[in-house]
Structure 1
Amino acid sequence: MANKKISDFTAITVVDKDDLIEIETIGGNSRKAKKRNAMPGPLGVLALKKSTNQSIVTGAWRLVSWDVEMHDNLNAFSSGSSTTDFTVPSGITVMRVNLRAGWANNSTSNRYLSLYNVTTSTDVAIDIKVSANESGQTLNSGLIEVTAGHVYRIQANSGSQTLNLSGTEFGGASILTVEFFEAWANTHI
């Protein structure tokens, strides 16, 4: 069954994970890859941003609040009940979190970001930016296995000096994007 295009498969076609399939791109190009390496797009996307600055007081983790919901096709975020938390939707077993944080420029204070699982009380991903006179910082979780119903949030700490986490200044608003995937085992990601 090797060397098939995705469009050649019907709903009942069984493909071995080591069979080659041709992956077609938007630009009309294609490449061959083993099925285990072919990752489908996300089932859902959550995109949140800040429209106002948030003061992150030094010395302790602070919850990052989100006040603009740009996209949420799986209802993972509920601004009415919490402006900080999102919940893994039913049927989701893998997610990827990308955070672009804008900070006030400061050359003396480190900046810390954490993806925190509220349900299990654990940090899933942490990024530390050593003091630098620049404003951008990113936190990328990579693909992580998750459990439906678990609650997550972003936390921030400004190290030695209180700093603003940007809603509008310092090179742009802070934006959180979460991609939700249906099944780890079926996609072999």
Structure 2
Amino acid sequence: MNLVGGLTGRGPSWRATVDMPRALVVALHLRDAAGLQVRTEHAPPPLEPSVDLDGALVQRATQAAAEAWVPWWHGLLARNPEFSGVPPLVPDPFPELPVDLRALIGTGLPAADAWFNARKREDLQALRQGVRPAATPRVGLIVNEVEQELGRAAAPFDLLISILPVTGLWGRRARRDHVLISRSLAAYEDGVAALLEPVVRDLAG
């Protein structure tokens, strides 16, 4: 997790958190490994590296499971005050999830967690080599520009930038204070600047 932020004499002014959330990646892994056909505005492209179909999950990939995946995904994108990032993978209590989706999660969670942990190790290795997402410094630069234009400190905000290991240069504003971006876009300075600038200006102005 990377944090950047600004300070005023009275304390924190703004904060941006850049992270790869386990819950979102696991949900996408289950979608891809089961071959779920889902339709939702903010569903990202397929994972990268690509995930093979899992026969045990394909057997559980019912229409009911696909339909339940969509509201589950939107629930994971919600930023609730009690969570610093995205909500946990499953609600409490667990039985609130529809039975077909619960069965899919129960079967596919170990492989999804292993895949997620492998991507986190890759990111840690990149950090050790000095490679950081372009999104981290870009937010601060945009805030500085806004403050110079306005002649005052940025309005307080708390922006969550979720980096997802999905294909292509892809990004979406999922909520007013939550942005989804692919790994490739996170590393592409001009591309991530184009996505983040209107978001940060909206929050900081």
Q: Tell me if both proteins adopt one fold, taking TM over 0.5 as the criterion.
A: no
Larger radius of gyration: 1
Higher strand share: 1
TM-score range, shorter chain: under 0.3
Q: TM-score, normalised by structure 1?
A: 0.21
Higher helix share: 2
